Amino acid sequence: MPVRNTIHIGDATLTLVEELVMPTSARWMLPDHPEPFAVLEHARPWLEPHMLNERGHILQSIHSWLIEVDGMRIVVDTGIGNDKDRASGGFEGWHMRNGPYLDDLTAAGMPADSVDVVLNTHMHGDHAGWNTRWVDGAWVPTFAKARYQLVEPEWRYWSGQTDPVPDIIEDSVRPVVEAGVVDLVAADHRVGDSVWLEPSHGHTPGHVCVHISSAGRDAVIIGDVMHSPIQCAAPEQRPPLDRFVEEARAARIALLERYADTSVVVLGTHFHTPATGYFRREGSAYRYDVFEGDPPGP
Ligand SMILES: [Zn+2]
C-alpha cells in the first residue's frame, strides 16, 4: 500500500505521497551536540509514535506534497526518482531505484500528466529526482504538461559548480531547462492566489519554503530548513547537510520564531508521515505537536 496522507487547508487539498523512509539516529541528526540522546529523550513524547521507531531510530521520509487549489495542481519536491545513478554520494535505497512513485501519484488522484506546476524547495537528490524520467535513452520531463517553476539563484549556483556539477543537476534539472519547460523565478515568487514561495536560504543558496493560504487557513512546507522535529528541541545545532551553516541556522530559527504558537500548519518535507503539526514554544526551545487528519482548531 502506498503511504500517503491527505489534509485540507481551507479550500486547498494537500496530499503527501511517500517515496522512501530512512531511519537515522539522534547522533547523525545532531552531530555537534554533546548529548544527542538526552535531546532524543526530551523530545520522545512528541516524536512517538510517528517519527521514532521502537529501536530508537528517528524516521525520516522522502516524499512529495501534492497541492490542489484554485483549479491548479502543484507538486512540491519530486523525491529521488527511478533509474538515477547514485552509486556515489547517494544514500541506501537511492541508487537505480525502480519504485512505484508514478503509480502512487495516480492512486492519489494526481497522475503526472495532470500536474500544472512543479516546485523544488531546492536542488538536492531527494527533492528534484522525479523532475525527469528515463525514456528511450534520454532524460525527459516526468510532468509532461507542467511548467517547472525553479528558483533562479538555486539553479545559477548549482549549474555553475565546477567540482563537479552534481548528478542531480545533470540528470534531473538541466534536462528540464533544456526542454524549455522551466520558468526561473525569484525566491519570493507567487505561484497563484493561494501559494507562494518564502526565501529560506542556507541549507542551499536558493532554498525556499512553500506557503499555502486558503479561506483563512495557512500552512507552510518547510523543505530542508529542518530535517526532523527533534531539531525543535535544539534549534541552534547544525544538522549534517547544510551547505552554509550559519545562514541555515538563521533560517531555521527564523522559521521557528515566525510560526511557533500560530495557527499555521507546519508540513515537514523529511518528517515521517503524517508530517503535519504545529510549532510550539517550550522553555527556551520548541516542540512539534503532531496531529492526524485535518488540522484541529479554528
Ligand atoms: Zn532533503
- Res 189: pLDDT: 98
257 occurs within a structural domain: yes
d(CA 60, CA 50): 10
Q: Cell digits for 174?
A: 538541466
Lowest mean pLDDT among 32-36, 182-186, 237-241: 237-241
Is 78 within the bounds of a domain? yes
Does residue 295 form part of some domain?
Answer: no
Does 47 fall in a domain?
Answer: yes
Residues 120-148 have a mean pLDDT of: 98
Q: 126 C-alpha vs ligand 1 centroid, how far in Å?
A: 5
Cα(20) to ligand 1 centroid in Å equals 12
Q: In the prediction, which pLDDT does 1 show?
A: 61
- DSSP string for residues in 154-192: HHHHHHT--S---HHIIIIIHHHHHTT-EEEE-TT-EEE
CA of 149 to the centre of ligand 1 (A): 18
DSSP symbol at 112: G
Q: Which of 61, 49, 77, 50 is nearest to 24 (CA)?
A: 61
User: From ligand 1's centre to the CA of 276, what distance in Å?
Assistant: 17
Distance 92 CA to ligand 1 centre (A): 14
- Interval between CA 131 and ligand 1 midpoint (Å): 15
Residue 164 has pLDDT above 90, yes or no: no
CATH number at residue 188: 3.60.15.10
Matching residue, cell 549534517: 240
Q: How confident is the model at residue 297 (pLDDT cuts 50, 70, 90)?
A: low
Q: Binning pLDDT at 50, 70 and 90, where does residue 236 land?
A: very high
The reply to whether 115 falls in a domain is: yes
The pLDDT value recorded for residue 235 is: 96
122 and 207 Cβ atoms separated by less than 8 Å: yes
SS (H, E, C) 56-85: CCEEEEEEEEEEEECCEEEEECCCCCCCCC
Rounded to the nearest angstrom, the distance between the alpha carbon of 298 and the centre of ligand 1 is: 31
The predicted-structure confidence for 265-278, as pLDDT tens digits, reads as follows 999 999 999 999 99
Residue 26: domain span = 4-290
Torsion sign across C-alpha atoms 62, 177, 15, 97: negative
Q: How far is the CA of 223 from the centre of ligand 1 (A)?
A: 7
pTM recorded for the entire structure: 0.97
As a dihedral over the C-alpha atoms of residue 263, residue 277, residue 20, residue 247, rounded to 10 degrees, the angle is 60
**pLDDT score of 243 more than 90:** no
Quick: pLDDT tens for 6-31.
999 999 999 999 999 999 999 999 99
Mean of pLDDT values over 245-265: 97
With H, G, I as helix, E, B as strand and everything else as coil, classify residue 53.
coil
**Cross-strand pairs, 16:** 5, 65
User: Residue 176: inside a domain, yes or no?
Assistant: yes
Tell me the per-residue pLDDT of 67-113, one tens digit each, with 9 for 90 and over: 999 999 999 999 999 999 999 877 889 999 999 999 999 999 999 99
How many Cβ atoms sit within 10 Å of the Cβ of residue 244? 15
The CA 224 to ligand 1 mean position distance, Å, reads 5
Structural domain contains residue 298: no
Average pLDDT, the chain: 95
Ligand 1 centre distance from Cα of residue 248 (Å): 13
Please give the grid coordinates belonging to residue 211. Answer: 506557503
Give the residue from 58, 3, 5 showing the smallest Cα distance to 221.
5
User: Cell 481551507 appears where?
Assistant: 10
Q: How far apart are CA 211 and CA 174, in angstroms?
A: 26
Q: How far apart are CA 83 and CA 86, in angstroms?
A: 9
Give Cβ neighbours of residue 241 (< 8 Å, ≥ 6 apart). 124, 203, 224, 227
Q: Do 17 and 63 contact (CB within 8 A), yes or no?
A: yes
Mean pLDDT over 241-257 rounds to 95
Once rounded to an integer, what is the mean pLDDT over residues 171-198? Answer: 98
Domain count, the chain: 1
3-state SS class at 113? helix
pLDDT at 210: 98
Assess if residue 68 is contained within a domain. Answer: yes
Please tell me which residue, 2 or 103, carries the higher pLDDT value: 103
